[in-house]
Amino acid sequence: MKGLRFCLALWLAKLSIPALKLTKHNATDYPGHLAIKICPDFLDKIDKPELVIAVTGTNGKTTCTNMICDAFEAAGRKVLCNRYGSNINSGVSTCLISGSTLTGKCKYDTAILETDERSAPRIYPYLKPDYIVVTNLFRDSIMRNAHPEYIQWIINKGVPENSKLVINGDDLISCGIAPGNKHIYYGIGQIASDTTEEVNRLVDLRVCPECGRKLVFDYRRYHHIGRAHCPECGFKSPDYDYEGHDIDKAAGTVQVTDKEGTRAYKIANDSLFNIYNTVMTVALMRDLGFSADEVQSLMDKVKIPATRFSRVAAGPCTVTTQLAKEMNALAVTRATDYIRHQEGHKRLFLLLSCYKVAKNWSENMGWLYDCDFEMMNDPLIDTSVVTGPRALDFKLRLLLAGVPEEKILCIEDEREAARQMDIAPGDSIYIYCGMVEGFGVVDDCRKIITERCEALGGKEQA
Amino acid sequence: MIIEVLFPEVCNLYGDLGNIEYISRSLEASGETCEVINTDLYTRPAFADRDDIDLIYMGPVTEKGQVRVIESLKPYKDRLMQMIEGGQRFFMTGNAMEVFGKYIECEEGGPRIECLGIFPFMTKQRMMNRTSSFWVGQYGETDVVGYKSQFTHIYPEDTGSFKSLFKTEKGEGINPGFKDEGIREAGFAGTYLLGPLFVLNPVLMKEYLAEMGYKDIKPLYEETAVEAYNKRLAEYREPGRSYKY
Mean pLDDT over each residue of chain B, to the nearest integer: 96
Chain B residues close to A364, C-beta within 8 Å:
14, 132, 147, 149, 194
Per cent of chain B over pLDDT 90 is 93
Q: Strands B112-114 and B103-106: what pairing?
A: antiparallel
Q: Alpha helix (H) ranges present in A111-228?
A: 120-127, 142-145, 148-156
Give B207: exposed, middle or buried? Use CB within 10 Å, 0-12, 13-18, 19+: middle
Chain A nearest-CA residue for B64: A149
Which pLDDT value is given to residue A460? 59
Q: What is the mean pLDDT of residues B95-103?
A: 98
Q: What is the pLDDT of residue A50?
A: 96
Give the integer Cα–Cα distance in Å for B179 and B195. 20
Contact A144 B130 (CB under 8 A): yes
CB-CB under 8 Å, B15 with A370: yes
CA distance B80 to chain A (A): 23
pLDDT recorded at residue A436 = 55
Q: Nearest CA to CA, how far is B195 from chain A (Å)?
A: 5
Q: Which residue among A143, A368, A392 sits closest to B245, beta carbon to beta carbon?
A: A143
Cross-chain Cβ contact B127/A144 below 8 Å: no
Which chain B residues contact residue A392 at CB under 8 A?
224, 227-228, 231
Q: Decide: A202 and A333 in contact? Cβ < 8 Å.
A: yes
Report the SS3 class of residue B45: coil
Q: Which of A150, A212, A366 sits opposite B194 (nearest CB)?
A: A366
Partners of residue B194 in chain A, C-beta under 8 Å: 142, 364, 366
Measured between CA atoms, the residue of chain A closest to residue B61 is: A147
Per-residue model confidence (pLDDT) at position A279: 97
Could you read off the pLDDT of B172-219 as tens digits, one per residue?
Answer: 999 999 999 999 999 999 999 999 999 999 999 999 999 999 998 999
Residue among A226, A247, A141, A111 at smallest CA distance from A175:
A226
Strand partners, A167: A134, A185
B76, B77, B82, B85 alpha-carbon torsion, rounded to 10°: 140
Q: Which residues of A touch B242 (CB under 8 A)?
A: 360-361
Section B33-41 average pLDDT: 98
A452: CB partners within 8 A, 6+ apart: A418, A419, A423
Q: What CA–CA distance (Å, rounded) separates B56 from B36?
A: 10
> Which chain A residue's Cα is nearest to B196?
A366
pLDDT tens digits, A97-152: 999 998 889 999 999 999 999 999 999 999 999 999 999 999 998 888 999 999 99
A219 close to A322: Cβ distance less than 8 angstroms: no
Q: How far is B137 from chain A (nearest CA, A)?
A: 16
Phi, psi dihedrals of residue B195, rounded to the nearest 5°: 180, -70
**Which residues 420-459 of A have a C-beta within 8 angstroms of B?**
none
Q: E-strand spans in A69-109?
A: 79-81
Query: A370, A81, A73: which is closest to A204 by C-alpha?
Result: A370
CB pairs under 8 A between A and B: 108
ipTM of the complex: 0.97
What parts of chain A have a pLDDT lower than 50? none
pLDDT at A357: 67
| Distances B66 to A38, A210, B60, B69, B164 between C-alpha atoms, Å | 42, 15, 9, 5, 22
Do A179 and A209 touch, CB atoms closer than 8 A? no
B170 at interface of A, judged by CB pairs closer than 8 A: no
Nearest CB among B18, B22, B242 relative to A361 is that of B242
Segments of chain A assigned to CATH 3.90.190.20? 309-455
CA distance A90 to A43: 9
Q: Any idea where the domains of chain B sit in the sequence?
A: 2-236
Round to whole Å and give the CA distance between A169 and A238. Answer: 6
**Helix, strand, or coil (residue B93):** strand
Which residue of chain B comes nearest to A404, CA vs CA? Answer: B221
Residues 199-228 of B with CB under 8 A from A: 199-200, 220-221, 224-225, 227-228
Superfamily of structural domain A309-455: Mur ligase, C-terminal domain (3.90.190.20)
Cβ within 8 Å, pair B14-A364 = yes
CB contact under 8 A, B14 and A212: no
Tell me the shortest Cα–Cα distance from B133 to chain A, in angstroms. Answer: 8
State whether residue A2 sits within 8 Å of chain B by CB.
no
Q: What does the pLDDT read at residue A326? A: 82
Run of H or E including B196:
none
Mutation target to probe the A interface, by most A beta carbons within 10 A, among B22, B26, B62, B229 is B62
Q: Which fold has domain B2-236?
A: Rossmann fold (3.40.50)
Question: Concatenated DSSP letters for A206-233?
Answer: -B-TTT-SBPEEEEEEETTEEEEE-TTT
Residue A38: how many other CB atoms lie within 10 Å: 17
Q: Could you list the beta-strand ranges (E) of chain B.
A: 2-6, 35-39, 55-58, 89-93, 103-106, 112-114, 121-125, 131-139, 142-150, 152-156, 167-170, 183-185, 188-191
∠ CA(A448), CA(A449), CA(A451), 5° rounding?
65
A351's enclosing H/E stretch is strand A346-351
Give B 18-77 residues with CB within 8 A of chain A.
18, 21-22, 25, 40-42, 62-65, 68
Task: State which residue of chain A sits closest to B244, comparing Cα positions.
Answer: A361
Measure CB to CB from residue B13 to each of A143, A147, A362 and give the nearest one.
Answer: A147
Q: Are A418 and A339 in contact (CB under 8 A)?
A: no
| Helix boundaries (H) for A315-413 | 329-340, 355-358, 391-400
In a mutagenesis test of the A interface, which of B67, B127, B200, B245 is the best target, namely the one with the most A β-carbons within 10 Å? B245
CATH of domain A4-189+240-299: 3.40.1190.10
What is the arrangement of strands in the sheet containing B121-125, beginning at the earlier edge strand?
A: B112-114, B103-106, B121-125, B152-156
Phi-psi sector, A451: left (phi>0), alpha (psi -120 to 50), beta? alpha
- List the one residue out of A430, A246, A264, A254 whose CA is nearest residue A338: A430
Nearest CA in chain B to A370: B15
In chain A the first and final C-alpha atoms are separated, in Å, by 60
- Residue pair B143/B129 in contact (Cβ under 8 Å)? The answer is no
CA B157 to chain centre: 20
Confidence (pLDDT) at A8: 94
Q: CA nearest B241 in A: which residue?
A: A360
Is there a contact between B245 and A206 if contact means CB atoms under 8 Å apart?
no
Q: How far apart are CA A369 and CA A396, in angstroms?
A: 11
- Closest to B192 (Cα-Cα) out of B203, B180, B204, B207: B180
Backbone angles phi and psi of A351, in degrees to 5: -115, 75
Residues of chain A within CATH 3.40.1190.10 domain(s) are 4-189+240-299
User: What does the pLDDT read at residue A28?
Assistant: 80
**Nearest Cα residue in chain B from A360:** B241
pLDDT of amino acid A438? 57
Other C-beta atoms closer than 10 Å to the C-beta of A17 total 17
Residues from chain B that touch A329, judged by Cβ atoms under 8 A, are 15
ω into B196 cis (within 30 of 0): yes
